[in-house]
Structure 1
Amino acid sequence: MPSQSSKANVLLLVAAAAVLLPACHTAAATNRAEPVRVEFYMEALCPYCANFTIAQLQPLFTNKLINYVQLSVIPWGNARVDGEGKSVCQHGQLECDLNKLLSCASAQHPMQDDFFPFLACMEEAVLSAGKLEVQQLAHKCAVHAGMVTDKLMACYEGPLGATLQQLAAQRTASLKPPHRWVPWVTVNGIPLLDDVDNIQRYICTVIYHTATAEGMPGRG
């Protein structure tokens, strides 16, 4: 049962969001700068990544803050390549397979409004702690997101899927500073470290400061 202090923290966050969001949308309406770049470095079976996807990213689509964001999802995380050139993932081969599936879905549907329902479907399945199987999950989440399962699986089973995972590995390895855990989230290239649950506040801060610098209506 949640403690009184944890309940109070939730209420404070809700109250803060109620004040922050209108100001954020107002600032964004006056701001024609580039979208806020959010990069999410993750791995498919990481429960913390799944929770971040559902608890923190999904609300951005509900409250429309995503309209001012360029979201990139890089499914590699703490994986590595062994001496034989094979991917080795923290949570086993299934995670490597699902990472590749996510890479294919993202490549085939680069618009974040199209891709995110697939990601959310997969991560909800991870949080449910049920048995996961690649083809069944691919079909279920493809249908949910309006994707074509056969096209998705052709990428996953062919050379393109492996190539996309190599690119995800390279992108993760190029992080400066290097990632230390997952989820690893950056906003305009700045890592949020262990403060990822406040991503909405960081996005709004960038939007507001940019709009203020450009001169919001009514400001001197």
Structure 2
Amino acid sequence: MENYLTLQYLILVLLTRVYLMQTDHFPFIYCVEKLYQEKKYTEWETCFEELDLDPKPVLDCYNSGIGQALGLQYIDEVNALEPPKQYVPWIVVDGNPLYADYTNFVRDVCKAYRGSNIPRACLGITRPVTIGPNRVGLHVNEL
């Protein structure tokens, strides 16, 4: 099983590089995770066909050695997280891990946002607060 997890991990890393749109790679990640939960470790390639994604650019990248380098780079980045990752998903906003409250990450990101252009996801759950010249913070409305 270890080899399948390693291969799946590298494919998922490459997928996010080849298919840059989240609308392409998120469903693939979901598909692979679902197969993993069903203990169908070797069937990850079926996700390409199921989602009508061309596997060739991802597999070419994997076979070229770039996949291994990217996988090692991602491992280094995860190992360097502060605070250190304890489980998945590990979401940190402004240096504070969200722990089990990660389902409200949009709220936390909006609360931490400092900038002049309010992200669309924050509209309706926040209100602007002036925090200095040309800087706006967002106050999260009580839900």
- Partner in structure 2 of residue 137 of structure 1: 44
Structure 1 contact 187–203 (Cα < 8 Å) conserved? no
User: What one-letter code is carried by the residue in structure 2 that aligns with 1:146?
Assistant: D
What is the CA–CA distance in structure 1 between the aligned matches of 2:19 and 2:93, rounded to whole Å? 22
The residue correspondences of 1:19-168 to structure 2 (distance < 5 A) are 92-129=2-39, 131-133=40-42, 136-138=43-45, 140-168=46-74
TM-score of the aligned structures, taking structure 1 as reference length: 0.47
Paired residues, what number? Answer: 118
Structure 1 contact 115–145 (Cα < 8 Å) conserved? no
More helix by share: 1
What is the CA–CA distance in structure 2 between the aligned matches of 1:107 and 1:188, rounded to whole Å? 26
Displacement after TM superposition at 1:163 (Å): 1.1
User: What one-letter code is carried by the residue in structure 1 that aligns with 2:128?
Assistant: T
Residues 202 and 132 of structure 1: CA distance in aligned 2, closer, same or farther (over 3 Å): closer
- Partner in structure 1 of residue 89 of structure 2: 183
Q: SS in structure 2 opposite 1:195? A: helix
- Partner in structure 2 of residue 212 of structure 1: 128
Structure 2 contact 28–48 (Cα < 8 Å) conserved? yes
Structure number with greater CO (CA < 8 Å, separation at least 6) is 1
Q: SS in structure 2 opposite 1:212? A: strand
User: What one-letter code is carried by the residue in structure 2 that aligns with 1:164?
Assistant: L
- Partner in structure 1 of residue 105 of structure 2: 202
What's the RMSD between the two structures over aligned residues?
A: 2.4
- What stretches of structure 1 of length at least 5 have no aligned partner? 1-90
Residues 137 and 165 of structure 1: CA distance in aligned 2, closer, same or farther (over 3 Å): same
Residues 105 and 188 of structure 1: CA distance in aligned 2, closer, same or farther (over 3 Å): farther
Displacement after TM superposition at 1:186 (Å): 2.7
Identity between Structure 1 and Structure 2 (%): 23
What is the CA–CA distance in structure 1 between the aligned matches of 2:14 and 2:95, rounded to whole Å? 24
TM-score of the aligned structures, taking structure 2 as reference length: 0.69
- Partner in structure 2 of residue 58 of structure 1: none
